[in-house]
Amino acid sequence: MTATHAGRFGVFGGRYVPETLMSNMIALEAAFDDARRDAAFQAEVATTLAHFVGRPTPLYHAQRLSAAWGGQVYLKREDLTHTGAHKINNAVGQALLAKRMGKRRIVAETGAGQHGVATAAACARLGLECIVYMGALDCERQRPNVERMRLLGATVHPCEGGSRNLKIAINEAIRDWIANPDSTHYLIGSVVGPHPYPLMVREFQRVIGDEARQQFTRVAPRPDAVIACVGGGSNAMGLFAGFIEDAAVELHGVEAGGSGDATAATLNHGRPGVLHGALSYLLQDAEGQILNTHSVAAGLDYPGVGPEHSFLKDSGRARYHVVGDQEALAAFKELCALEGILPAIESSHALAFARRILADRQGLRVIVNLSGRGDKDLPGLLAKGLV
């Protein structure tokens, strides 16, 4: 295993990968550096975001919710993007970069299937071969997303072994990339993994924060606080990126507390350690074994977190909170009833924290990232009798 000093956020991040992957990482870093400075590439990304993804997404003033909660709540409507969540921003960006690098084949892993669907859509749009690794148990639980990916032209590989979930799918995707380094790009879905992924994914997601900052100027120079849920941390980093330079804007990340004994609140309950190529906070036991996580929100159910969030936590620039299943579900129902918007259960964690902060500090103006739409969650929530 090799660590370099590239891509650190304070002590966090880095590049803890097998020697066999090192040249891939260096080539990807160089390609991304080059593409960021290329006006033609930036224009291609912008055009695709406008016409395929449906950007800019609205910054919506939730007036009835604001009246009920005692402040001003603005929702950044990533739920209105093509495929229904912010993940498409990154999928499109990386797929365009892969194509620019001359790669014809994309591998990805997916847990609940949202990242797989976004990646399959981006690959279909660009005529790239798409292989999605997914735990066999997750395939059974997320049948509609498996069918969506197939219709979008992807090959879905159900992964047996381990707990038949996201962990084994990540292992299989990495194994594939090691075996096919020249033809293949590994399209990671959040601000996790070795350098340059955390930086690159943040840059592909910063369109959320850049738009929101610009859109908010119609209301006031700045919001008091911005709030986003944190799984791996990509929708939060995308939103934060637009406001991080402005010290007057509070940054709040919201982790999933789950219910009962298991949690997915990595920054609140974890300790630093290395997982999937980067040093970051990690849910682990005393021996360093990764703990099982739980949340009603599959997209937040990950034992690690992006290294930049670890840095922002320790530096105090951002604060991280825990919202459990029940509180998130209550916010989910309130948004449905008061605004006619069905949010993703992941995003509902951020909403629930907005409610909490407004109860303490009436009149605050906050932007909540509505990272996705909730239609995907309904069958599961109904089956469990939660809604």
Ligand X SMILES: *Cc1c(COP(=O)(O)O)cnc(C)c1O
CB of 19 to ligand X, least distance (A): 28
Largest separation between any pair of C-alpha atoms in the chain: 56
Asked if the bond preceding 198 is cis, omega within 30° of 0, the reply is no
**Has 109 been annotated as catalytic?**
yes
CB of 317 to ligand X, least distance (A): 18
The 185-204 site mask, x for binding ligand X (CB under 6 A), equals: -----x--------------
Of 12-20, 42-50, 93-101, 226-234, the segment contacting ligand X by CB under 6 A is 226-234
219 or 336: CB nearest ligand X: 336
Q: Does 371 bind ligand X (CB under 6 A)?
A: yes
Long-range contacts of 42-47 (CB under 8 A, 24+ apart): 44/96, 45/92, 45/93, 45/96, 45/204
Q: Which of residues 71-110 bind ligand X (CB under 6 A)?
A: 85, 87
| One of 45, 134, 152, 229 touching ligand X (CB under 6 A) | 229
Q: Rounded to an integer, what distance in angstroms lies between the CA atom of residue 200 and that of residue 27?
A: 13
**Of 29, 66, 87, 255, which residue is the catalytic one?**
87
Q: Does 374 bind ligand X (CB under 6 A)?
A: no
Q: Which of residues 137-156 bind ligand X (CB under 6 A)?
A: none
CB of 347 to ligand X, least distance (A): 6
Q: Does 233 bind ligand X (CB under 6 A)?
A: yes
Q: Are 162 and 168 in contact (CB under 8 A)?
A: yes
Asked if the bond preceding 196 is cis, omega within 30° of 0, the reply is yes
CB of 137 to ligand X, least distance (A): 18
The 30-59 site mask, x for binding ligand X (CB under 6 A), equals: ------------------------------
- Sheet of strand 105-110: strand arrangement: 155-159, 129-135, 105-110, 184-186
Q: Rounded to an integer, what distance in angstroms lies between the CA atom of residue 125 and that of residue 48?
A: 10
Q: Are 336 and 360 in contact (CB under 8 A)?
A: no
**Has 163 been annotated as catalytic?**
no
Q: Does 266 bind ligand X (CB under 6 A)?
A: no
Of 29-37, 67-75, 99-107, 342-350, the segment contacting ligand X by CB under 6 A is 342-350
CB of 159 to ligand X, least distance (A): 19
For ligand X, the nearest residue by Cβ is 372
18 or 144: CB nearest ligand X: 144
CB of 132 to ligand X, least distance (A): 14
CA quadruple 295, 265, 65, 355: dihedral sign: positive
**Of 78, 109, 203, 327, which residue is the catalytic one?**
109
């380094």: which residue's tokens?
Answer: 181
Q: Rounded to an integer, what distance in angstroms lies between the CA atom of residue 42 and that of residue 207?
A: 12
Q: Does 346 bind ligand X (CB under 6 A)?
A: yes
Q: Are 187 and 106 in contact (CB under 8 A)?
A: yes
Tell me the pairing of strands 105-110 and 184-186. Answer: parallel
The number of helices, as runs of H, and strands, as runs of E, in the chain is 16, 14
Q: Are 130 and 191 in contact (CB under 8 A)?
A: no
Q: Does 234 bind ligand X (CB under 6 A)?
A: yes
**Has 315 been annotated as catalytic?**
no
Q: Kindly list the residues in this chain that would bind ligand X in the complex (CB under 6 A).
A: 85, 87, 114, 190, 229-236, 299-300, 344, 346-347, 371-372
Q: What positions carry a catalytic annotation?
A: 87, 109, 371
